């Protein structure tokens, strides 16, 4: 606890001492040579230019239906490599098609089903009723408030990833939004200064330092996760002020539920669309989770 | 001595500009922007706003998308290794079914978000391939990161994949299709695709 506030305080001092680090242009990251190397390692591709596959660039004939049937490479990795065009080569040229291991699939599918029912029978009716009564601006305010409260999670994880610019952004956002933004309900840091939130968590920090997701886990209620991100979630709980501010367990759960209902009220319909447009929603959710996490780890 | 240096410098410069120029020319991006603008004009057309016109609106969007999206390439990449094992008849059955699904994915996405602003965040061109990064801002100023992948065919840069917040469309369907084909069969995949078509 003391450590967290210590870090917060230190990063504030840092900003006061070196105002040049203040994020005038939030999009530009400070990149030390060693961090970009680590990034490359973490995302699983080497920085050396990869030699282009001769088959895939040999001509446009590959694109027509008739000729594409003529190359009968049944070896999956070879074919996948061919399908990966040069643009995505640097990010996605992997030995295996990129999916996440799923040894717990039978159990995960059961919990996927439970979560699905939980959404349609409990969460959605609650969120719809809530949406009908509470105006959208207020609900966005509540979302901002909860998000502002979890600043320590993002700030510490920025620091753990040596992302000092991100940490500076989060500090400024917290100071500004907690005061001028009326305890976080408004987001003047974004609307006035264009300082975007850095969506970092401990799972991403672990990923940044080269730890893979291990395997997929579908938790009841909490939803999609992986072994790595489950540890990450536990770490984030330790950095979440709500864990310390609210002593009573039922009140804590009630507040977290409210946060969830509020969040859901802003995105009713998305899950329905997703289910309608997928052939195997469980697989689709698992892969979407995996890809999105990889994307977040890479774009820190 | 001096002259060689000059030539070297000029060579360096010309290489630098040679590299930079395609990035600014932006043919793939211009073509994509043209399509997106057309879709937006349909979405914002007051004559098509009423719910009774929803079908006509979707049809108009589909027509615009047909010019820019390479459905067959998407299907080929989504089936990946299973594509080569299909007969021409199976492919003729599969591609239109998949196209209907993809069109709906796109339409759901664009109709779902109330688009406020679209900013183009740059493109990468590598011979016949190009990636275009786009940021979509919703009415409530939430940014959604979308990336389009295009492939040059003739004079047209055709979209063969797009990703939303890092989640690639082709990649996602590829895993689903593979799972279904390996666990049951291609016929099962066709059956499931049919239940997803809008008539049902």
Task: Render pLDDT for A184-231 as a digit per residue (tens, 0 to 9).
Answer: 899 888 888 888 888 899 999 999 999 999 999 999 999 999 999 999
Instruction: Inform me whether the C-beta atom of residue B191 falls under 8 Å from chain A C-beta atoms.
Output: no
Between A141 and B47, the more confident residue is A141
How far is the alpha carbon of A289 from chain B, nearest alpha carbon, in Å?
8
Q: Which residue has the higher pLDDT, A152 or B54?
A: A152
Give the pLDDT confidence score for residue A208 in this predicted structure.
93
Q: Which of the residues A136, A189, A283 would you substitute to probe the B interface, choosing the one with the greatest number of B C-beta atoms within 10 Å?
A: A283
Measure CB to CB from residue B175 to each of A140, A270, A283 and give the nearest one.
Answer: A283
Give the H or E element holding residue B72: helix B71-79
Judged by a CB distance cut-off of 8 A, whether residue B49 touches chain A is: no
Residue of A nearest to B153 (CA): A60
Which one of A65, A73, A284 has the shortest CB-CB distance to B172? A284
Minimal Cα–Cα distance from A15 to chain B, Å? 27
Contact between A60 and B165 using a beta-carbon 8 Å cutoff:
no
Does the CB of B39 have a partner CB in chain A at under 8 Å? no
In tens, the pLDDT along B70-96 reads 998 999 999 888 888 888 888 999 999
Residue B28's pLDDT is: 87
Percent of chain B with pLDDT over 70: 84
Chain A touched by B127 (CB under 8 Å): yes
The token duo for B157 is 């840069």
Tell me the average pLDDT across A260-287. 91
H runs (alpha helix) in chain A: 2-17, 33-42, 54-57, 65-68, 76-83, 86-92, 105-118, 124-133, 136-149, 151-160, 164-179, 188-191, 202-208, 227-239, 241-245, 249-265, 270-276, 281-298
CB-based contact B104 A276, cutoff 8 Å: yes
Contact B131, B147 (CB under 8 A): yes
- With contacts defined as CB-CB under 8 Å, which chain B residues touch A190? 141
Q: So what's the pLDDT on residue B116? A: 66
B167 touches chain A (CB under 8 A): yes
For residue A147, CA distances in Å to A117, A170, A173 come to 27, 11, 11
* Segment A238-258 mean pLDDT: 89
pLDDT of A55: 39
Q: Chain-centre distance of CA B76, in angstroms?
A: 14
Fold of B27-196: Nuclear Transport Factor 2; Chain: A, (3.10.450)
Residue of B nearest to A274 (CA): B105
Partner residue opposite B124 with nearest CB, options A68, A87, A288: A87
Give the number of A-B residue pairs with CB atoms closer than 8 Å: 112
Contacts of A85 in chain B (CB under 8 A): 126, 129, 149, 151
Q: Quick one: pLDDT at residue A125?
A: 94
pLDDT in tens, A51-61: 344 334 333 33
Instruction: Judge: A288–B105 Cβ closer than 8 Å, yes or no.
Output: no
pLDDT score for A77: 46
pLDDT on residue A134: 94
Residue extents of the structural domains in chain A:
98-298
CB contact under 8 A, B196 and A279: yes
User: Is residue A269 predicted with pLDDT exceeding 50?
Assistant: yes
Please count the other Cβ atoms lying within 10 Å of the Cβ belonging to residue B87.
10
Above 50 in pLDDT, residue A88? no
Contact flag A280-B179 (C-beta cutoff 8 Å):
yes
Q: Largest Cα–Cα distance of chain A, in whole Å?
A: 67
* Strand extents, DSSP E, chain B: 115-126, 129-138, 143-153, 156-164, 167-168
3-state helix, strand, coil in chain B (%, to 5): 65, 20, 15
Structural domain boundaries in chain B: 27-196
Closest CA to A232 of A115, A144, A154: A154
* DSSP β-ladder status, B129-138 and B115-126: antiparallel
The nearest CA of chain B is from the CA of A17 a distance in Å of 32
Nearest CA of chain A to the CA of B14: how many Å? 22
B51 touches chain A (CB under 8 A): no
| Distance between CA atoms of residues B41 and B61, nearest Å | 10
Render pLDDT for A110-167 as a digit per residue (tens, 0 to 9): 999 999 999 999 999 999 999 999 998 999 999 999 999 999 999 999 999 999 999 9
Please classify residue B131 by burial: count the beta carbons closer than 10 Å to its beta carbon, then call 0-12 exposed, 13-18 middle and 19+ buried.
Answer: buried
Query: Which of A41-45, B10-14, B99-103 is most confident?
Result: B99-103
**Which residue of A65, A72, A279 is in closest CB contact with B72?**
A65
Confidence at residue A66, expressed as pLDDT on a 0 to 100 scale: 36
Taking 80 as the threshold, does the pLDDT of residue A283 lie above it? yes
Pull the structure tokens for residue A6. 């210590």
Phi, psi for residue B116 in degrees, rounded to 5? -105, -50
In whole angstroms, give the CA distance from residue B102 to residue B173.
10
Q: In this complex, is the C-beta atom of B196 within 8 Å of any C-beta atom belonging to chain A?
A: yes
Structure confidence at residue A47 (pLDDT)? 35
* B189/A87 Cβ within 8 A: no
């Amino acid at each position: 606890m003391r450590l967290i506030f210590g870090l917060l305080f230190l990063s504030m001092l840092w900003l006061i001492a070196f105002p040049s680090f203040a994020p005038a242009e939030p999009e530009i990251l400070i990149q030390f040579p060693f961090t970009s190397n680590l990034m490359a390692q973490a995302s699983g591709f080497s920085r050396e230019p990869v030699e282009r596959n001769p088959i895939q660039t040999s001509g446009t004939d590959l694109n027509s239906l008739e000729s594409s049937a003529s190359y009968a490479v049944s070896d999956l990795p070879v074919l996948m490599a061919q399908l990966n065009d040069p643009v995505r080569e640097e990010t996605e040229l992997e030995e295996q098609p990129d999916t996440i291991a799923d040894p717990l699939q039978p159990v995960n599918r059961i919990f996927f089903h439970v979560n699905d029912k939980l959404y349609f029978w409990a969460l959605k009716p609650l969120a719809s009723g809530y949406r009908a009564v509470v105006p959208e601006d207020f609900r966005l305010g509540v979302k901002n408030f909860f998000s502002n409260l979890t600043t320590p999670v993002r700030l510490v994880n920025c620091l753990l990833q040596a992302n000092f610019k991100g940490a500076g952004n989060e500090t400024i956002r917290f100071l500004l939004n907690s005061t001028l933004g009326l305890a976080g309900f408004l987001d003047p840091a974004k609307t006035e200064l264009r300082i975007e939130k850095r969506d970092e968590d401990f799972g991403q920090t672990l990923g940044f330092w080269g730890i893979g997701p291990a395997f997929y886990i579908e938790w009841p209620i909490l939803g999609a996760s992986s072994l790595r991100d489950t540890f990450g979630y536990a770490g984030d709980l330790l950095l979440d002020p709500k864990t310390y501010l609210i002593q009573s367990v039922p009140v804590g759960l009630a507040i977290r539920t409210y946060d969830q209902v509020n969040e859901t009220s802003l995105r009713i319909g998305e899950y329905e669309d997703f289910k309608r447009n997928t052939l195997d929603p469980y697989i689709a959710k698992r892969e979407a989770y995996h890809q999105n996490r990889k994307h977040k780890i890479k774009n820190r | 001595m001096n002259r060689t240096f000059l030539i070297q410098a000029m060579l360096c410069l010309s290489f630098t500009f040679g590299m930079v120029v395609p990035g600014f020319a932006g043919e793939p991006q211009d073509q994509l922007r043209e399509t997106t603008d057309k879709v937006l004009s349909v979405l914002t057309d007051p004559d098509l706003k009423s719910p009774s016109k929803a079908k006509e609106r979707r049809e108009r969007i589909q027509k615009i998308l047909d010019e820019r999206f390479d459905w067959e390439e998407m299907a080929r990449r989504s089936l990946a290794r299973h594509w080569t094992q299909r007969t021409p008849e199976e492919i003729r059955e599969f591609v239109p079914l998949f196209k209907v699904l993809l069109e709906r994915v796109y339409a759901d996405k664009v109709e779902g978000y109330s688009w406020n602003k679209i900013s183009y965040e740059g493109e990468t061109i590598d011979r016949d391939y190009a990636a275009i990064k786009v940021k979509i801002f919703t009415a409530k100023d939430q940014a959604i990161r979308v990336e389009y992948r295009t492939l040059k065919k003739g004079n047209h840069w055709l979209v063969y994949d797009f990703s939303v917040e890092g989640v690639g469309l082709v990649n996602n369907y590829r895993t689903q299709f593979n799972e279904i084909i390996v666990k049951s069969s291609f016929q099962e995949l066709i059956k499931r695709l049919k239940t997803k078509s809008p008539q049902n």
